[in-house]
Amino acid sequence: MSATPLPSPNFGDRRGGVRPDLVVIHYTAMPSATEARARLCDPAAEVSAHWLIAEDGTTEQLVDESCRAWHAGAGAWGGVSDVNSRSVGIELANPGDAPFPEPQMAALERLLAAILDRWSIPPERVIGHSDMAPGRKRDPGPRFDWRRLALQGLSVWPGVSGADGSAGPLRGALAAFGYPDVGDDVLLAAFRLRFRPCVSGAEDATDRALAADLARRFPVDGGTLSA
């Protein structure tokens, strides 16, 4: 635990004494970082995150990383259904429909690099709230630059050399990458929200090829901790 008490009282022990091996990125969906901080530190709200990054890049720790913050809610990634016990949660001050400012992204990159190093977390286990809770959550949303993080080794991005239709079903590949078992339309929407945010319509060969690349290069380890 930190020697200095941190602002949010909304936390508990990580169940089973596990260490974090996921990072979940959120947006606050609130007008300002000040309002978001107040909510994340309000005992009545029963929500929190380990870190909050304001639009100007100001970064504040709200919960010690060794503790279980209450940011993820219902959802799963691979075999992990108690995502709160296995993750570090980062909230980005953003109303949900605005660009993420450069100072905020730069601060996120610095923080992510430190977290991944501190807990030996691989970049494929940096995910969005929308990845682990498809259909229920959309953050960090279509305006978040996942590819930028991937280029710095802080997340991952799929590649494909020609979508010839030979890749297998989207569902199987995305399950191997870590996405939970949800309806086909919900699964496709969650995948595209992160990797093809400007694309709509039916599942296509490019979707399948990109998903196959993620499954081939970054198969989820599964995990065994349940809720």
- Is pLDDT of 68 > 90? yes
pTM of the entire predicted model: 0.94
The answer to whether residue 163 sits within a structural domain is no
Is 1 contained in some domain?
Answer: no
Are 61 and 145 in a shared domain? yes
Tens of pLDDT, residue by residue over 12-35, are: 999 999 999 999 999 999 999 999
Residues 33-61, mean pLDDT to the nearest whole number: 98
- In a shared domain, residues 74 and 116: yes
Among 118, 151, 184, the domain boundary falls at 151
Give the number of other Cβ atoms within 10 Å of residue 153's Cβ.
Answer: 12
- For residue 142, whether the previous peptide bond is cis, meaning omega lies within 30 degrees of 0, is no
Is residue 82 located within the same domain as residue 189? no
Average pLDDT, integer, range 97-122 = 98
Rounding to the nearest 10 degrees, give the CA dihedral for residues 11, 17, 23, 27. -10
Strand 87-92 and strand 11-12: the pairing is unpaired
Given the DSSP bridges, would you call strands 68-69 and 22-27 parallel, antiparallel or unpaired? unpaired
Q: How far apart are the first and last CA of the chain?
A: 23
Which three-class secondary structure state does DSSP give residue 17?
A: helix
Specify whether 179 is located in the same domain as 120.
no
Alpha-carbon distance of 140 to 90, in angstroms, equals: 10
Q: Indicate whether 126 belongs to any domain.
A: yes
Place of tokens 């995910």: 127
In this structure, the answer to whether residues 199 and 117 fall within a common structural domain is no
- In this structure, the answer to whether residues 189 and 118 fall within a common structural domain is no
Does residue 100 carry a pLDDT above 70? yes
Residues classed as catalytic: 91
Same domain, 146 and 188: no
> What number of CA atoms fall less than 13 Å from residue 135's CA on the CB side?
13
Q: Are residues 138 and 200 in the same domain?
A: no
Does the pLDDT at position 157 exceed 80?
Answer: yes
Instruction: Give me the number of domains the chain comprises.
Output: 2
Query: Which CATH number belongs to the domain containing residue 57 in this structure?
Result: 3.40.80.10
Q: What is the pLDDT of residue 25?
A: 98
- Do residue 53 and residue 100 come from a single domain? yes
Domain that holds residue 50: 11-151
